[in-house]
Structure 1
Amino acid sequence: MAAQPDDRPCPDAATLREAIASGDPMRAMPALATLREFPEDQTETVVVPLLLLGAEQEAFLVRSLSCSGLGVRRSEAGWALLERLLRNDEDANVRAEAANSLASYGVERAWPLLRDSFAADNAWLVRCSILSALAEQPGIDPAWLLELGQLAIEDGDGTVRVGGAEILGRLVREQAADVVGSQARALLQPLQQDTDHRVVAAALNGLQGS
């Protein structure tokens, strides 16, 4: 939701509000997408309140798109709602989008919440979203990635285990001279006998960096 690039007049906020609250995703989603046309100086006064409204709607697609917007147009009110949705929303798509948006507020702030949610939420989609969001953070503490990777490779879902193996492989490559790299290598080695061939391939690929 980048700021409006030109001098076109902004859409009418009242019209957008009515569409977002209409209960009709075919009206609400285009209205939410239109919010990217508002400049940054209207983030707090117009954009965030409408995104918050969207995040409270019944249709999960509307809530998901609103979560995505709250990760771009960041605010304390947005953080609070994203945190609540991550913990309590009934739909894994919404929780996954909330996790991804929370990571955009900074890894230092988001890590405790996302780590706890990863451990508590068994939905593979949510866990994969957290893995992806945190793995993309260049400044994340390697010890945090190690903890996350270890949690992931214990998952019953092969896709989550692949994500964990890829994180551990990254640590093997980037922390080769550090104890974290050694621990990651030790965790990867048993995965060469994993029942999922994708996990085996990710483990082998990661161990090549050792």
Structure 2
Amino acid sequence: MADSDSTSPAGLNPEEIRQAIVSGDPSRALPALVELRRLEAEQAVPLLLLGLEQEPFIVRSISCAGLGLKRNEAGWEALTAALRGDEDANVRAEAANALASYGVERAWPLLRQSFAADDQWLVRCSILSALAEQPGIDPRLLLELARMAISDADGSVRVGGAEILGRVVRDAAASPGLVESAEAARQALIGLQQDADHRVVAAALNGLQG
């Protein structure tokens, strides 16, 4: 029987997984990448990095997701490069989501910069969602991000911004030191009731009622 450290539960050893990843066939590569969740980071990350070098965007996207689960410095550097330079918005969006898993303190400057520089709605929505899910994030950071989002031309991004404003109203109102942030978020939500996109209006109303 193969050693458990060198063989995944599905029966593929790291070399077989590597061959599947570089095969150029997503139907082989994706199951192999999923198996890497069961390996230790020191085994999984080099193979995930290899996945990021492959041509099919879906292979690169799943590799980014894996690097968000198997975290180390090599993964951080690779995700940063993908966020800044991958040609496919799906990959950049997945990289942003994975980077957020490294923690707000480290990821915030990079994700904020990317939000401002990358005008693809998918990337911006991924950043909004990833940061909104962070339980301990400073409401003032969320307010800054939401203000950028609600000025976006894309309605989906503005919806995400409105939803974050609603969270700021709820979270900041409970803290005496954040009353100004809560009021600023509330005023922004009031303004969004005039938005041309009915989805944004609905999100604004929900934020004010919450």
In the superposition, the TM-score normalised over structure 1's length comes to 0.91
1:137 aligned residue (134, 138, 143): 134
1:12 matched to which residue of 2? 13
Q: Report whether the alignment pairs 1:51 with 2:51.
A: no
1:32–1:170 Cα change, 3 Å: same
Which structure 1 residue ranges, 5 or more long, are not aligned? none
Say how many residue pairs are matched. 201
Residues of 1 paired with 2:182 and 2:90: CA distance?
33
1:175 aligned to 2:172?
yes
Deviation at 1:33, TM superposition (A): 1.2
| Match of residue 122 from structure 1 | 119
In structure 2, relative to structure 1, the CA distance for the partners of 1:36 and 1:191 (3 Å cut) is: same
Does the residue aligned with 1:193 lie in a helix, a strand or coil?
A: coil
Runs of 4+ that moved beyond 4 A:
7-10
Matches within 5 A, 1:102-121: 102-121=99-118
**1:10/1:37 contact within 8 Å kept:** no
- CA drift at 1:85: 0.4
- The answer to which of 177-186 and 155-164 deviates more is 177-186
How much has 1:9 moved relative to structure 2? 8.2
Please give the alpha-carbon distance, in whole angstroms, between the structure 1 residues aligned to 2:115 and 2:10: 42
Aligned to 1:202: 203
For residues 45-70 of structure 1, what are the alpha-carbon distances to aligned partners after superposition, in whole Å with 9 as ceiling and x for unaligned?
x2100000001101000000000000
Question: What amino acid maps onto 1:208 in structure 2?
Answer: Q
1:11-52 deviation line (CA, Å, top 9, x unaligned)? 3111111111111111111111121232x3xx21x2100000
Residue 147 of structure 1 aligns with which residue?
144
CA distance in 2, matches of 1:8, 1:195: 52
> Quick one: distance in 2 between partners of 1:118 and 1:85?
14
SS of residue paired to 1:188 = helix
Scaled by the length of structure 2, what TM-score is found?
A: 0.91
SS at match of 2:193: helix
Measure the CA separation in 1 of the matches of 2:191 and 2:83. Answer: 32
Q: Distance in 2 between matches of 1:170 and 1:9?
A: 42
Residue 51 of structure 2 contacts residue 63 of structure 2 at CA under 8 Å; is this kept in 1? yes
Which residue number in structure 2 is paired with residue 190 of structure 1?
Answer: 191
Change in Cα spacing, 1:156 to 1:8, as seen in structure 2 (3 Å) is closer
**Aligned Cα RMSD in Å?**
1.7
% identical equivalent positions? 69
Give 3-state SS (helix, strand or coil) of 1:86's partner.
helix
Whether 1:164 aligns to 2:161 is yes
1:89 corresponds to 2:86: yes
